């Protein structure tokens, strides 16, 4: 149909929408079509396809404990080197379940879409979420979309809630941490934060850093299957290694010493951090975690971690030295020691 033939006709012919409109959140056919074409078709699984108000799920017979977590994802830009809001939304929640020692099984996905967002962007996000879910062994079993007026959001916000099952009886958490434990860091630090920063600030050409965004449940399941006495795990997201360690030290009432020489940071991350005046210890990761367990089991744990690609760079990088006020220190390369503290706010690029 030529454009001039439409003139004077109040009803346009059917054409697929290219951008999100307010009506996509209105509960009518437009919304139904968006959900079917973008989300349900990408994630197809039995629980989702029943199209109930809620997904009905059966627990494995041997399981009497579940873990549940929720997280919201806002990131700009939506797609960056090594990941996207989709991979963050799946891996972030999967990893939080794994840190509790749970095998991740199911996710929900809630979207807040800004009017005007390209539908092709949603297709890409839905497809990437499915890829990541398959890789992590989880199914996205229920979802929701809401639309906000243009200017009231930043394209796409995603919330995922995850449920996992605990296949063991041990308690994993800061309260279990005790003097004599070793701290294993699962790989190099700071790649995700620097990749985002580079994409956001136009430093991409200068800085070839790929986000470490990845699911870490598989190595964690192997650690548990090996019967190791894991005291605590934590993924090193916002605030980086430093904030995670300080949180654990404070919650556990212990002093932890990290060794600078054992911490790995790639050259590109170090160079960008030097340039901007950032400390890689505080930069975000999305595929790194720490494991705290008795020192006698540290080598076995490191060996298991090293057999997985996502944690192949694991190293024993710290020790829980004593009970006391929760503090973390870093033993530097020159044999001097300094405090590692949480930041009071975000890291800001320096003047000179």
Partner 1 sequence: MKFMDEYRDPEAVQKLSEAIHSTVTKPWTLMEICGGQTHAIVRFGLDELLPSQVTLLHGPGCPVCVTPVEKIDRAVAISRMPDVIFCSFGDMLRVPGTTGDLLQARAQGADVRVVYSPTDAVRIAQENPAREVVFFAVGFETTAPANAMAVITAYREEVPNFSMLVSHVLVPPAMEAILSSPQCRVQGFLAAGHVCAIMGTSEYHPIAERFRIPVVVTGFEPIDLLHGIYMCVKQLEEGRFEVENAYVRAVKEDGNVPAQQLVADVFEVTTRTWRGVGELPFSGLCLRAEYQQFDAEVRFDVGDTVAEEDSECRSGLVLQGLLNPPDCPAFGKRCTPEHPLGATMVSSEGACAAYYRYRRYAREAR
Positions touching partner 1 (CB under 8 A) are: 201, 267, 270-271, 274, 277, 327, 332-339, 341, 343-345, 348-352
Report the 10 Å Cβ neighbour count for 191: 28
Q: Give dist(CA 53, CA 186) in Å, integer.
A: 39
Compute the least distance from the CB of residue 175 to partner 1, in Å.
23
Residue 9 or 351 with smaller CB distance to partner 1: 351
φ, ψ for residue 249 (rounded to 5)?
-60, -40
Residue 48 or 283 with smaller CB distance to partner 1: 283
**Pairing mode, strands 254-259 and 327-331:** parallel
φ, ψ for residue 64 (rounded to 5)?
-120, 5
Residue 47 or 271 with smaller CB distance to partner 1: 271
Compute the least distance from the CB of residue 203 to partner 1, in Å.
9
Please list, in sequence order, all residues whose beta carbon lies within 8 angstroms of the beta carbon of residue 136, skipping any fewer than 6 positions away: 90, 91, 94, 104, 215, 217
Compute the least distance from the CB of residue 272 to partner 1, in Å.
11
Q: Give dist(CA 208, CA 110) in Å, integer.
A: 32
Compute the least distance from the CB of residue 259 to partner 1, in Å.
13
3-state secondary structure of 74: coil
Compute the least distance from the CB of residue 153 to partner 1, in Å.
17
Which pair of structure tokens corresponds to residue 139? 């199914």
């Amino acid at each position: 149909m030529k454009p001039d033939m439409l003139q004077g006709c109040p009803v346009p012919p059917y054409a697929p929408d290219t951008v999100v409109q307010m009506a996509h959140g209105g509960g009518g056919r437009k919304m139904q079509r968006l959900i079917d074409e973008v989300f349900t078709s990408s994630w197809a699984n039995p629980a989702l396809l029943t199209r109930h108000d809620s997904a009905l799920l059966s627990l494995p017979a041997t399981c009497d404990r579940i873990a549940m977590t929720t997280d919201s994802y806002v990131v700009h830009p939506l797609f960056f080197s090594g990941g996207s809001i989709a991979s963050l939304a799946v891996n972030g929640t999967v990893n939080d379940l794994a840190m509790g020692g749970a095998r991740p099984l199911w996710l929900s996905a809630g979207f807040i879409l800004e009017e005007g967002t390209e539908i092709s962007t949603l297709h890409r996000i839905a497809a990437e979420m499915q890829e990541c879910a398959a890789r992590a062994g989880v199914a996205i079993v229920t979802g929701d979309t809401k639309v906000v007026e243009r200017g009231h959001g930043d394209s796409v916000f995603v919330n995922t809630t995850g449920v996992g099952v605990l296949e063991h009886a041990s308690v994993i958490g800061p309260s279990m941490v005790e003097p004599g434990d070793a701290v294993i860091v699962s790989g190099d630090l700071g790649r995700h934060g620097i990749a985002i920063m580079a994409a956001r600030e136009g430093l991409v050409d200068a800085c070839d850093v790929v986000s470490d965004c990845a699911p870490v449940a598989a190595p964690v399941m192997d650690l548990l299957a090996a019967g190791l006495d894991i005291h605590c795990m934590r993924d090193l997201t916002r605030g980086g290694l430093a904030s995670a360690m300080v949180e654990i030290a404070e919650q556990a009432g212990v002093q932890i010493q990290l060794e600078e020489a054992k911490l790995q940071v790639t050259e590109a991350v170090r160079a960008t951090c030097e340039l901007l005046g950032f400390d890689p210890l505080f930069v975000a990761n999305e595929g790194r975690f720490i494991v705290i367990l008795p020192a006698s089991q540290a080598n076995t744990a490191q060996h298991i971690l090293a057999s997985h690609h996502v944690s192949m760079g694991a190293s024993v990088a710290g020790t829980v030295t004593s009970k006391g006020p929760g503090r973390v220190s870093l033993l530097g390369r020159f044999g001097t020691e300094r405090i590692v503290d949480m930041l009071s706010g975000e890291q800001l690029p320096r003047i000179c």
